A and B are shown apart, each in its own frame.
Chain A
């Protein structure tokens, strides 16, 4: 069986780096890995997704409808948007954070108020205030690594040295804060 992870969010939130570090970890753990993402127009504040698949041998890089084991949503509305991709037995890890799309910013549409309860009723979902925590850690951008930490706990990969992966793939100045962010996510997610 191929394991499928989807990382969804808003263009500019750092889904790509999160996905990249995950694929490196999976390779180090000895898996065949594929990852797919859509670039281009969607970078401009649109909805974005990265899909990571791992197994002894992976064929399709794309996750089927109803095929994801875990969806990590960097923004709550995006968890709802991509929910059809989750297996009924799948799990959601959600950044408890709101980013208004253009139609809401311009007061032409409303942002659904009840997302936490609506999603929790239907799915096995864990919420984490990753954006707030990142701000407290001193850099809003490390939200993505907090969520990577939470995902790593859910995956429980054997023999992966995450600190080393962060050291090897993040600019020297940002290594320490990213390690802290990873640990925060790992230790605070309530799975």
Chain B
């Protein structure tokens, strides 16, 4: 049966057909759709959203020890969070097979950095596959579980955005029936205390030697000879780009199993071609290892170290050529960056944080990862730093301590963090604020869902990944249990209560938490949402042109439903996009924005 699948869908299908019974992940672009698809296969396997990637991987490790093939999926930065179990699991190995998927994001389409996670394979001594299309995603998943069990090791499946989010045709093979492997208590394998770990490290080194032999004969590493003047060594999507540009004017060493590298194959290929180009996105990972074999190559001396290795770059570097492009004047073309959606419940918070200049000057706004990262942009400019998941609160803590140290009593550090991000790692940071007592104001933007990645459930929503009802973890209770005393829950669409909560926290001599609780406008509302919030996003607002003075204050809401007509000098609200949050009508000082009466 042939299907057109994304790389992520093919990884999910490969997992199902390899007999995987346990999958855990924290959502992150471009990896999210793997477990999202697996969650639809309840009959086949258990899958879950874990609070963070470390927890997801540890769950998968426990499941593989207990005897079923398991899977953990994350975006590249997620593997930093999960690095601790990843490194030691490389020592203990597995019982049933375990695959860790890392979806990297060259070009940083949806990420805060561009780290190259192939380094993790080398660093942790874990074998790695790099598929270049969806069929390989499927086939390599099947092979990865075989390798995992045969060599007693976790396996890293390294995807990139273009592999995860591109569709190509996949031919499905028979589904494997994998027997349960009951756990045999073996402390010398599974209990990584120093005395045991010393022996395990020796095993890891021996395992690598065995995997080097596998790499030489793997079906996923192969030479394709055409014209031998140019020899391309490439892995992942770069292989597809290179063939597209060079066709039969070059020979290829296509590498799909890239740690450890097949050194004999590489030497043989090098002896058969005139000039070798190593084509890889981001870091010179293969290049450095190939140069260490004493082979001269062209690599990052000519290819860029950042961004996607798109076909036009390969064309330019190797052929010194560029496709013809029709020139047209774009000098006056406005950009179209993403913006907070119409009706977004984050709007009220960022409008309020931005509007009071005097207060804004006194606060450092420490941001976090989610849709609300857009609070940094126009018209709010209400974010002063952003690092990684959970860092808003902990960075605010550090800053707050410095204000105390330097006698800057007027200054306050404000952390803004989403509900899912709070559960991810923000919760630990808040413990530090409480325990080490800093005067941080933490605003938890609780929109009742994991929004940015496309609406995944989280510990606060009351549902599991597989759609079952679950315990709904209560953020105010958690915050109070951590030890924060000044806790308020507000509706972020009510600007006066937003302002009042922020002002009161500004004056409070200790840590405060403000929970802004209102569902994402794009969410499919649960019955709990409906009973708590009633009818949402059903009203519409419009501008009374008689009363509108053209003051543009409403534009400071940054709502995409509002536009400004320069010729008439009036604001306008699009009834197609207005969702009735009423923020603009609360901002208007001229009573010109009114609810539409039906």
Neighbouring B residues of A43 by C-beta, 8 Å: 338, 454
Is A119 a contact of B338 with CB atoms below 8 Å?
no
Interface flags, A37-56, vs B, CB<8A=1, else 0:
11111111111000000000
Per-position 1/0 for B438-468, Cβ under 8 A of A? 0000000000000011100000000000000
- Of the listed stretches B190-198, B239-247, B257-265, name the one at the interface; the rest are far from the partner chain: B239-247
- The answer to whether A39 and B29 touch across the interface, beta carbons within 8 angstroms, is yes
A3 in contact (CB, < 8 A):
no
Is A123 part of the contact surface with B, judged by Cβ < 8 Å?
yes
The segment from B271-279, B280-288, B371-379 that touches chain A is: B371-379
A103:B335 contact, CB within 8 angstroms: yes
Given known A-B contacts A43-B338, A104-B334, A84 and B552 have beta carbons under 8 A apart: no
Measured between alpha carbons, how far is A42 from B29 in the docked complex, in Å? 11
Q: Report B76 CB to chain A, min CB distance, Å.
A: 13
- Whether B363 is near chain A, meaning CB under 8 Å from some CB there, is no
Q: Are B333 and A34 in contact (CB under 8 A)?
A: no
**A64 located at the interface, meaning its Cβ lies under 8 Å from any Cβ of chain B in the complex:** yes
Bound CA–CA A102/B378 (angstroms): 9
User: Is there a chain A Cβ closer than 8 Å to B97's Cβ?
Assistant: no
Asked if B586 CB lies within 8 Å of chain A CBs, one says no
The answer to whether A107 touches B566, judged by C-beta atoms less than 8 angstroms apart, is yes
B481 at the interface (CB under 8 A from A): no
A174 within 8 A of B: no
If A60-B311, A80-B328 touch, whether A38 touches B165 (CB-CB below 8 Å) is yes
Interface size class of chain A, counting residues whose CB lies under 8 Å from the partner chain: 35 or more
Hey, what's the 0/1 contact readout for B555-598 against A, CB within 8 Å counting as 1? 10010101110100000000010000000000000000000000
B83 at the interface (CB under 8 A from A): no
Neighbouring B residues of A61 by C-beta, 8 Å: 133, 162, 166-168, 237, 240
- Are B312 and A64 interface neighbours, CB within 8 A? yes
A106 touches B168 (CB 8 A): no
Q: Does A2 contact B (CB under 8 A)?
A: yes
Q: Which of the 9-residue segments B41-49, B317-325, B415-423 touches chain A?
A: B317-325
> Which of A38, A65, A80 has a CB less than 8 Å from the CB of B333?
A80
- Name the residue of chain B whose CB is nearest to the CB of A51: B166
Contact B332 A110 (CB under 8 A): yes
Complex contact A36–B167 (CB within 8 A): yes
Beyond A24-B4, A64-B244, 20 additional pairs, beta carbon < 8 A: A23-B4, A27-B169, A34-B166, A36-B165, A39-B109, A40-B452, A40-B453, A42-B109, A60-B237, A60-B311, A61-B133, A62-B308, A65-B322, A66-B323, A81-B333, A81-B336, A101-B334, A101-B336, A102-B336, A102-B339
The 30 listed contacts between A and B (C-beta, < 8 Å) are A27-B4, A27-B169, A36-B162, A38-B165, A39-B109, A40-B30, A42-B109, A44-B341, A44-B371, A46-B337, A46-B339, A60-B241, A61-B166, A61-B237, A62-B162, A64-B245, A64-B323, A66-B322, A66-B325, A67-B311, A67-B323, A83-B326, A88-B325, A100-B563, A103-B335, A106-B378, A118-B328, A118-B329, A122-B327, A140-B576
Q: Which 4 pairs, one residue from A and one from B, show the smallest C-beta to C-beta distance?
A: A40-B110, A66-B323, A46-B338, A44-B338
